[in-house]
Amino acid sequence: MEIHVALFCIGIVLWLAWRWKKLSLWQNLGIPGPKPNLIFGNILELYRKGPVECHEEWVKKYGRVLGYFYGMKPVLLVTDPYLLKNIFIKDFNKFINRESFNPLHVYSPKHERSQSILNLPGQAWKYVRSVLTPTFTTAKMKQMSGSMKSSIETMLEILQEKAQKGIGFDIFDVYQRLTMDVIMKTAFGIQTDVQTNAKSSILRATKLIFVTPYKDAIIFLGYTGNKKTRRMTEAEIESSAFTVLLAGYETTSTALAYTTYLLAKHQDVQENLYQEIKDLVDKGQKLEYATINKLPYLDKVLNESMRVYPPVHLFTNRYAVEDVQYGDIQIPKGTLIQAPVYLMHHDPDFWSEPEIFDPERFSSKPNTEGITYLPFGVGPRNCLGMRFAQLEAKLALANLVYKFNIKLDDTQQDNLKILCRIRILAPSEVRVKLEPRNEEN
């Protein structure tokens, strides 16, 4: 009995010594950071305060490059724009992998959800990306814009009814139905009544993917561009389809909701945008794929909205696949690199008066020498559907602002109530009233 107790005690001591050695990594490398708990690392502080507030405190206290531990996982939090450019762009192949979509899930080639382009490592990611990239060529974008326009016209009819009734409503719900309708049509070839049927739930629409033979319906699977390459596996198709659904539905609807809120709150900005759109239409141009990029102020509005309220707000991340040295900063293999998006977008060192909504700040490009703006991620592993999301958002907003003046409903508080999820920073609702424009449009 005494021997068992002694062995147990020795085991505990050895485990604690091993644990302490692991948690001394950043201290030994001379990289500052919060002191980790022997059992939990820095997780408790992150959960108690929230990651955005926690990261902000740490950056103020320890500087633009700091180390902490997510449990036993070593994390390097970086807000140095020049170091980020090295990591995400110049030395991309040394940081090619990224953290799993689910923070509790470790990549496994046998796990179906690991086959998503979000999670795939190295060469597997390169292959799947090469298959999916042709989806977003100019020709395919033009093809998909017709389906987008059809869905937007349905949305406008619904909004016209609400405007005529003079009632306030949650436009975030309208946008969620719009983006679900668009993604189901363009990515999966499925017609739904999600916009017109109030009882058609998002969950029910999502389940359609798994009971429909979508493999042959997805636009981007019709042609890979190289007959000699292998076909995507069933698991890769399913997981990538699930990723496309989540990205195309939630992030775009969230960005639209935030932008609409800001336009309703800042009537001067909305009026400037309306005049730009009206000038284009008065010249005989239609609000469609061929002309939507002729609205530079619309670009500024969307860019600034995603700076103030980045939908994917926490961080963009990469894993070091080898040991890397930048001056005095040593990054060991296996380190998770995090670039905190919300923090970067609201840093007064990068943005003058960052809490103010000012589209004109995008009259010139953000810091081109480093990385300070990353709503879609950055580098070769940025958001694959960025052009798709931008096109959909531009078409929806341009048509909305041209037809209606947007105002906040009396029940909408001046400050949004925001729900902080694992990946998305979403408003609980955005209540507005619409007034039809006087002109015949």
The whole-angstrom distance between residue 382's C-alpha and the CA centroid of its chain comes to: 10
Between strands 73-78 and 336-340, the pairing is: parallel
The dihedral of CA 379, 383, 385, 390: what is its sign? Answer: negative
Q: Which among 382, 267, 266, 359 is positioned nearest to 307, based on CA atoms?
A: 359
Q: Which among 176, 213, 219 is positioned nearest to 195, based on CA atoms?
A: 176
Q: Judge whether 431 and 168 are in contact, CB under 8 Å.
A: yes
Q: Which among 148, 144, 170 is positioned nearest to 158, based on CA atoms?
A: 170
Q: Which among 435, 430, 429 is positioned nearest to 404, based on CA atoms?
A: 435
CB neighbours of residue 237 within 10 Å: 18
- Measured distance CA(400)–CA(40) in Å, rounded: 49
- Measured distance CA(313)–CA(29) in Å, rounded: 29
Diameter of the chain by CA atoms? 92
Q: Which residues contact 106 (CB under 8 A, 6 or more apart)?
A: 100
- Measured distance CA(397)–CA(361) in Å, rounded: 20
Instruction: Kindly state the tokens that stand for 290.
Output: 């061929």
- Measured distance CA(302)–CA(305) in Å, rounded: 5
CB neighbours of residue 290 within 10 Å: 11
3-state secondary structure of 251: helix
Cα angle 417, 423, 425 (rounded to 5 degrees) comes to: 20
Query: Which stretches does DSSP call E strand in 56-101?
Result: 65-70, 73-78
383 is in an annotated binding site: yes
Torsion of CA 117, 120, 124, 128, to 10 degrees: -10
3-state secondary structure of 65: strand
- Measured distance CA(118)–CA(97) in Å, rounded: 9
Q: Judge whether 67 and 32 are in contact, CB under 8 Å.
A: yes
Q: Residues annotated in the binding site, as ranges?
A: 383
Q: Residues annotated in the binding site for heme, as ranges?
A: 383
